[in-house]
Structures are given as C-alpha cells and as structure tokens.
Amino acid sequence: MAVDTCQACGGSRLEPFYEVRNIPVHSCLMVDSREAALAFPRGDLELVFCEDCGFVQNRLFDPDKENYSPDYEETQAFSPRFMRFVEEICADQDRKYRLAGKTVLEIGCGKGEFLVRLCELTGCRGIGIDPGVRPERLSSPALERITFIRDFYGPEYAHLSADYVCCRHTLEHIQPVRAFVALVREVIGRREETVVFFELPDMKRVLEELAFWDIYYEHCSYFTAGSLARLFRAAGFEVTHLYRAYDDQYLMLEGRPAAAPTRARLPLEDDLEETRLLVRRFREGIATRLEGLRRDLAAWQRQRRRVAIWGSGSKAVSYLTTLGLGGEIAAVVDINPHKWGKFLAGSGHEIVSPDRLRELRPDVVVIMNPIYTGEIRADLETRGLAPELVPL
C-alpha cells in the first residue's frame, strides 16, 4: 500500500520523480544459488520529494518484505580505506566528547566493527543492537566491555542508558523516520549531556551525479543535510554539527537533546530550494544517464572486451538490475571472503574473489565506488593485471 504522507514531517505535498519496478527487496542478503538469486523477492520503488521539508522516500516501500538477519552481509571492514575512515571518525568523536569510561549505544551496529574499534581507541563501554550482528567474528580485548544484542532497536530497549548514541547507515533503512527519531529523543529524556551521532548517505550527491545505483529498495528514506537537520530539530534535538565526509558521500549529524523543537542555525540546513531544483534535474536527466551507460556496455561487447564489476554490495545490485544486465558482465568481484561463492539477488551473478581475475583477465573493471579506485588498482597490479578502470 502506497504511503501518501511524508514520513519525516507529515506533509502531503509529495512530488514523484523516479521509479523502478520489480527490483530485489534486499541487496546484501547472501543467496546460496543462482536459481534462488533469480527468484529473489521483488518490490517496486517510486521516489517522492516532500515539498515541505525536502525528505525523499519510496512511497511503495513495504516493510513486511524485509528480512534482516545474520545472513545480511553489509560490512566494509575488509577495505583498508574504509577502516582508515572508521579510525578518523573514532578519533574525531573522542576529541569532541571524551568517551573514555562512558557508555556508547550503537543502534544498527552491523557486524560490530565500528563499535569495537571505538571502544579500543577511546576506552568506552559499548552496547550494540542489530539483527545481523555476528560477535563470533570479532576478536579484541575490548569485547569484555561490549554487549551485543541481536535484534531491532525499539521501545523494549528504552531501559538502556547511554552517554553517547550513534547510528550509522541505519536511518535510511527505516520508513517511519519521524517516529524513530522521536523514540531516540524520548529514551534520552532529561539526560541533557547525551550526544547523538548519525551517519548516512547524502542524497544531494545522488541527485547531482544521477547516481541511480545508490537508490535501492531497502533504502526507503533519503536525506539531504537540510531535511536531516529539520527532522532532528522537530524531534527535540539541538543540531550542533552538520557536515559531509568520505568524499562527500556521507552526511554526519551530531546533536544533543533540547527542551523543545529548535530553529535552523547551520549553513548546510538552508537547502530546500536547491534540493527541489536537483530533484527536477534528476527527473529530466536520468533517462539519458541510463542510456549512456547501456551504450558503453554495448560498445564493450562489440569490441569483445571482458567486463568485471568490483564491489558486490547494494550499488552493484542496483546497477545490474536497473540496467537489466546479465551476460554482459563476466564477473562480480568482492574482497569480503564471506561473500565468495554467494550470488547477487536479482541478477544471479556469482560473487568471486579478486584471485579469480587472474584467469578471467578482464579488459574493463567497473568500480562501484570511486573512493576505492586506488586500492583496487593496487590490488590488480599485485596480480599482474592492468585493465581499464571505470569508476562510477
């Protein structure tokens, strides 16, 4: 059933601007066979823009189709580049908030690597909640100070008290975002010194770059800096820091509880008109963007060039299924060994290790995230390979 009100502000002025039908409802859920991958459950996506607050949502999202579990394999921790970023975040947050001896609650902790590293570097205690957490994979003396809970965060965990609440790359998976942020605020109550830190994809970049591969079913909620800050201020937070990171791919919000809704005061918050313009440009330009990529693939086929994709996460699933690709792609590569031998939902491509490229010897490698280009080039060179690299 379609949602006809904005899940961030409750408004009804929703402007449709992008749709994709019959796409996999999960991108990172591991699938054991090609047959199961091709038969993976599907849903429809129609993005709408709220004229009142700038929030973007999939109005056709059905939460009953979602199935987060320990088989969900989203970790980026096998990338040295990503783990440097994690360490930078930990150092920055510790410098600002002096976390030693404090209790950190991470909502949506994934496989737990960030929370472990934060506890290692700062001396804090940790509580991590996620339906897909895998503590058995982790090894650290800091684990003695961490409790993991394999579940979704909800009112039943209101008793968990923390000095610092973080939530990284989870809010975009939640449809009732207003209710969720209100719950976080309610649980904090009068503990005015509690800090909240949220990290999530930046929709501005997606709109500017026509990056449709960053739009997929399980991401039902999309924020720009302004729409994110407006949500938190309306829920009773003072937004103290609002900025972009990781080559401007991610939004970072920090705040503290306030007695009442607060007013915008940070430069990045004033983006509603800019977002409205970007939404319209996306709607007008996306067909040309899709056609251009299809032409590139057709040209590589005519030239008998073997094409591999590096990165088997959500971006790859969206890229492959939106463009309707199958045999045009010779291999999908990932450095995460927990993915090897599994199959991509929707397209059915097997996920292989970088070592398999020695025998395949691709002519072109499409890189799903350009921030890893240097890392990937170095990896290929160690294997004696020098294909053309095409970062999206």
Per-residue confidence of the chain (392 residues) as pLDDT tens digits? Answer: 788 999 999 999 999 999 999 999 999 999 999 999 999 999 999 999 999 999 999 999 999 999 888 889 999 999 999 999 999 999 999 999 999 999 999 999 999 999 999 999 999 999 999 999 999 999 999 999 999 999 999 999 999 999 999 999 999 999 999 999 999 999 999 999 999 999 999 999 999 999 999 999 999 999 999 999 999 999 999 999 999 999 999 999 999 999 989 999 999 999 999 999 999 999 999 999 999 999 999 999 999 999 999 999 999 999 999 999 999 999 999 999 999 999 999 999 999 999 999 999 999 999 999 999 999 999 999 999 999 999 99
Q: Which of 227, 259, 273 is nearest to 11 (CA)?
A: 227
Is the torsion defined by CA of 134, 135, 139, 141 positive or negative? positive
In a domain, 306, yes or no: yes
For residue 159, tell me if it sits in a domain: no
Domain limits at 317?
301-391
Distance from the Cα of residue 189 to its chain's centroid: 28
Structural contact between residues 194 and 184, judged by C-beta atoms closer than 8 angstroms: no
Q: Give whole-number Cα distances, 382 to 243, 301, 354, in Å.
A: 36, 27, 11
Q: Give the Cα separation of 350 and 311 in Å (integer).
A: 12
Identity (one letter) of the amino acid at 204? Answer: K
Task: Record the pTM.
Answer: 0.96
Residues 346, 37: contact at Cβ < 8 Å? yes
Measured between alpha carbons, how far is 320 from 23 in angstroms, rounded to an integer? 10
Cβ atoms within 10 Å of 87's Cβ, excluding its own: 14
Determine, yes or no, domain membership for 108.
no
Strand order from edge to edge, sheet including 125-129: 146-149, 125-129, 103-107, 164-168, 195-201, 250-257, 237-245
- 335, part of any domain: yes
Q: For residues 195 and 162, what is the distance between their CA atoms, to the nearest angstrom? A: 9
CATH number at residue 326: 3.40.50.720
Domain count, the chain: 1
Domain membership flag for residue 374? yes
For residue 376, tell me if it sits in a domain. Answer: yes
Instruction: Give CA separation, 31 vs 28, 40, 220, 338, in Å.
Output: 9, 9, 22, 12
Q: Does any domain span residue 172?
A: no
pLDDT for residue 11: 97
**Helix 225-234 with 272-302: angle, nearest 10 deg:** 140
Residue 270 belongs to a domain: no
